[in-house]
Amino acid sequence: MKSTRLLKVAGKSILKNKMRTLLTMLGIIIGVAAVIVMVAIGQGAQSQIEEQIQNLGTNMIVITAGSSSSGGVSRGSGSYNRLTVKDAELIAQESVLLSGVSPVVTTFTQAVGGQGNWRTLINGVGTDYEYIRALTLKSGSFFDFTDVRQMKKVAVLGATVADNLFPEQDPVGQKIRLRNVPFTIIGVLNPKGQTATGNDQDDQILAPYTTVQTRLRGRSFISQILVNTSNPNDIVAAEEEISVLMRESHGLAQWEDDDFTVRNQTELAEAAQGTTEVMTFLLAAIASISLLVGGIGIMNIMLVSVTERTREIGIRMAIGARGADVLTQFLIESIVMSVFGGALGVLVGFAGSKILANVMGWGTEVSPEIVAVAIAFSAAVGIFFGFYPARKAAALNPIDALRYE
């Protein structure tokens, strides 16, 4: 029997009982839609995390204070701070792999000016900080080496601070007070959004680290040192170089442990990607169970169909149809229901992911690959669960089938 004829016969058989066909496909529709939505949520989360990590900086390496121990018990990272500006200066002078170095001096204080006051994070940084953190300016400019060397009282506002102190206006050129010290605003940063941990990257004020250290903080130790490389392939070697320079700067003997910690954004990105990939896989695996349930439903209905159409099968065989023709006919019916149900499931899943993105504010991402996989998987379900009923129909004895009532 020709394939076109088989498709026509299979289509007529499917449309004989539209409600039963729809209910049969419902399991596949729900299964495919669930897979699409779950994977979309997972991929959306992964994309958001990757974007947030990229927002932190390009090829960035973070040097923080190390840990101290008492009686063999570690007090944790950052409990023993020996980081100084001299460490950052040594790294900048001696390193051959780094393209940017910036000490970071942090403090919290109330910023007063404009139309009110706002408690925020003050980051005292160097001029390379703009490049390391991939910052862009909405208006104004970043401070330069002269501003840092002369300890000028200039500030660059994050978007959140600017919106709260100077709503709907450009604050460049205006004054704010930080702990009664007047600062002139020279720039406003473009928004960067939240980090993976939920911290607002725009709720900060940047100023020369020399000014913050002498005017606002008053301590010689700094919070951290940020550096970066121009080539991501240099990150591992740069970390080793930094460790050597830091141990030299702190005068550590070979037998002494590091009193600093060196981390890079690549490690964080890989860890985050690994977590979201596992989450996506688990979500897809859970949703796939409903596809299996839908496949079992197709097999059940096809078995019922074989029983109902036993006499019809006998007539077809009596007038020349081969067992392979009957097998192909029932397989095509099963595959058509699965693929059509899968296509509807893709539409439902796509709509569901959009609704979740708009109503719940979740990031979702439907890739063409997952749509193709969902359709292929639904067709595979149709073949797998339709084969047994089709084989049972093809194995019927024509004489017994004609006598079946």
For β-strands 98-113 and 175-178, DSSP reports them as antiparallel
Task: List pLDDT tens digits, range 320-339.
Answer: 666 666 667 777 777 777 77
pLDDT at position 349: 81
From first to last of the 405 residues of the chain, give the pLDDT tens digit: 455 666 666 666 666 666 777 777 777 787 778 777 777 777 776 666 666 666 555 688 889 887 544 444 444 444 456 788 899 999 999 888 898 999 999 999 999 988 889 999 999 999 999 988 888 999 999 999 999 999 999 999 999 999 999 988 899 999 999 988 999 999 999 988 776 556 788 999 999 999 999 998 877 788 899 998 888 888 888 889 999 999 888 888 888 888 888 887 666 666 556 666 666 666 666 666 766 776 677 777 666 666 666 666 666 666 666 666 666 777 777 777 777 877 888 888 888 878 877 776 666 767 777 777 777 777 777 677 666 666 666 666 555 555 555
- Contact criterion met (CB below 8 Å) for 10 and 332: yes
Tokens of 324: 């392979």
* Exposure on the CB side of residue 149, measured as CA atoms within 13 A: 3
Please report, for the chain, the start and end positions of each structural domain, with discontinuous segments joined by +: 3-52+270-403, 83-258
pLDDT at position 254: 83
Give the Å distances, CA to CA, from 32 to 27, 57, 298, 375.
9, 38, 14, 8
For β-strands 204-208 and 116-125, DSSP reports them as parallel
pLDDT at position 236: 85
For β-strands 181-189 and 175-178, DSSP reports them as antiparallel
Question: Which residue reads 């002498």 in tokens?
Answer: 214
pLDDT at position 390: 67
pLDDT at position 152: 94
Tokens of 153: 């009282």
Instruction: Return d(Cα 309, Cα 273) in angstroms, integer.
Output: 52
pLDDT at position 69: 43
pLDDT at position 253: 84
Q: Pick from 329, 342, 341, 404: which is nearest to 373 by CA? A: 342
